[in-house]
Amino acid sequence: MRSFGWLIVLAFLSACGSEPVRDAVDLEPTAPTRKAIDRAHQRKIVAFGDSLTAGFGIGRDEAYPAVLQELVDRDGYPYEVINAGVSGETSAGGVRRLSWTLDEREVAVVILELGGNDGLRGLPPSEMKKNLNLIIDGVEERGIPVLLAGLSAGDDPKDPFIREFVDVYAELARERDVVFLQNFLEGVAGNDELNQRDGKHPNVKGARAVAANVWQTLRPMLEAQ
């Protein structure tokens, strides 16, 4: 069994060499705008992931998808962001619940953030890759573009398992030709000020930084639609 220290590294993979967190001024809430918007006829951006998406420890109203909604509204894009995160979710669990998450909705983009719990459980990276491929298949069969959120282990991870685990995301992005956010936790992982006491999950401020990371990659996808 791998050490607890290794689990922390894998759960919230090293942020060595990360850029500074983006200016929080750009993330001020726009509550009056949000209240005035009728979501019923808006296309959906589905944030499909695990506890990092669900908002473990801070609640769904503070999780990154809620902040992403603020950014979408602020910049005038007519989309509703759906938080489809489930704490503890593995890539296999994502395969099982994909259909009922997407069906009966007009979905514009799926943000795919899964795999961290596979690593924590020591599941083979090859199995994670197979499951993520199945999820991408299911999304693309519905004519929906994918934004794949990856994780980073720094410039030179020593543990071959971590290296193989992280490489899965880049391999998938290349092989499937999907939009790729190389480090979902850029500027957040390893930063005590942006994480909860467990050292794994973003706090409220960290979730806002994650939303800024995602928005930088998501916005050009919406502009192209």
Strands 107-113 and 79-85: unpaired
| 41 among known catalytic residues | no
Q: Give the residue from 37, 30, 135 showing the smallest Cα distance to 80.
A: 37
Phi, psi of 49 (to 5 degrees): -165, -155
Angle of the 160-176 helix axis to the 125-141 helix axis, nearest 10: 20
Catalytic site residue from 61, 137, 159, 198:
198
* Residue in 73, 91, 118, 201 annotated catalytic: 201
Positions of E strands within the chain? 43-49, 79-85, 107-113, 146-149, 179-181
- Specify whether 155 is catalytic: no
201 in catalytic set: yes
- Which one is catalytic: 14, 50, 51, 118? 51
Catalytic residues: 51, 198, 201
